């Protein structure tokens, strides 16, 4: 069985379409979506519609929570709070009540099994949509924050936009990176593939070429607030 895990689309429908085409080519059996669907991108409605059309399991990310209720003090640097809420308000203006209700009611984790392999997936940590667990965290930190509370063979998360795979205590931890806003310096969409065959697990970080100029130009086309900064991130693959 081949499973694809995608996340952090952030309203970049150009990148999402490229990833979905790649998934189709690879004959994936099932797709799972780990949150951050439409905020901070130029095409929030189109990205959200593409995700909903997959008719699959989708969980909430911190950016989905922000769309629903706004960005609060202490959740981002103080100097970014005003512009991020301006971006949030712009995003909300492109969605309808059904879209907002959908985001509000998303669950926060996925527990599934493939050929006897137990999988636990979440956005940031099992307990938080916001906590940041970077790739260079020590094993104890990862075990305490990502692998506690739910027995699994494979733990998947997103949120940090920097993909990696680690093996700890005979179990696998995988960050699948970001479809729409990669932060690791490679301006390509990122997602995770998990292949399970008779209890054996293969994990892959898949990078997909996206036209960065096309994706970045969308911000200006739609009059997105903070367009220059967001376009730079898309083109450079880093904050």
CB 226 within 8 A of CB 87: yes
Q: Which of 93, 112, 95 is nearest to 37 (CA)?
A: 95
Which has the higher per-residue pLDDT, 175 or 239?
A: 175
Instruction: List, for residues 6-20, the tens digit of each pLDDT value.
Output: 999 999 999 999 999
Report pTM. Answer: 0.97
Q: Is the pLDDT of residue 212 over 90?
A: no
User: 130 Cβ partners below 8 Å, 6+ apart?
Assistant: 62, 75, 124
CB 196 within 8 A of CB 1: yes
Contacts 24+ apart (CB under 8 A), 19-22: 19/179, 19/189, 19/191, 19/208, 20/50, 22/206, 22/208
- Report strand pairing: 164-168 vs 154-157: unpaired
Set out the domains of the chain in order of their start, with CATH numbers. Answer: 2-236 (3.60.21.10)
Handedness of CA 115, 120, 123, 124 (dihedral sign): negative
pLDDT score of 14: 97
CA 173 to centroid of chain Cα atoms: 16
Quick one: tokens of 195?
Answer: 């292949």
Instruction: List, for residues 63-85, the tens digit of each pLDDT value.
Output: 999 999 999 999 999 999 999 99
Q: What angle do CA 202, 203, 207 make, to 5 degrees?
A: 135
Average pLDDT, integer, range 218-229: 96
CB 231 within 8 A of CB 220: yes
If one counts every other C-beta atom within 10 angstroms of the C-beta of residue 141, the result is 12
**Sheet strands side by side (includes 2-6):** 30-33, 2-6, 189-197, 200-208
Instruction: List, for residues 150-205, the tens digit of each pLDDT value.
Output: 899 999 999 999 999 999 999 999 999 999 999 999 999 999 999 999 889 999 99
């Amino acid at each position: 069985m081949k499973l694809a895990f995608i996340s952090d689309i952030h309203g970049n429908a150009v990148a999402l379409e490229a990833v979905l085409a790649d998934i189709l080519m690879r004959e994936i059996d099932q797709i799972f979506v780990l949150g951050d669907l439409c905020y901070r991108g130029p095409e929030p409605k189109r990205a959200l519609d593409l995700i909903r059309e997959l008719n699959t399991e989708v969980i909430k990310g911190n950016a989905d929570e922000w769309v629903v209720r706004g960005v609060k003090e202490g959740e981002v640097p103080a100097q970014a709070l005003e512009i991020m809420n301006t971006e949030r308000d712009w995003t909300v203006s492109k969605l309808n009540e059904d879209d907002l209700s959908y985001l509000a009611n998303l669950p926060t984790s996925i527990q599934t099994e493939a050929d006897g392999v137990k999988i636990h997936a979440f956005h940031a940590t099992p307990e938080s949509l916001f906590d940041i667990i970077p790739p260079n965290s020590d094993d104890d930190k990862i075990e305490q924050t990502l692998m506690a509370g739910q027995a699994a063979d494979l733990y998947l998360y997103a949120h940090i936009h920097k993909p990696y795979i680690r093996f700890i205590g005979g179990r696998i931890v995988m960050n699948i990176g970001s479809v729409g806003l990669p932060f690791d310096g490679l301006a390509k969409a990122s997602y995770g593939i998990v292949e399970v065959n008779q209890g054996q697990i293969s994990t892959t970080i898949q990078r997909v070429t996206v036209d960065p100029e096309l994706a970045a130009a969308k911000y200006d086309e739609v009059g997105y607030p903070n367009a220059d900064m967001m376009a730079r991130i898309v083109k450079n693959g880093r904050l």
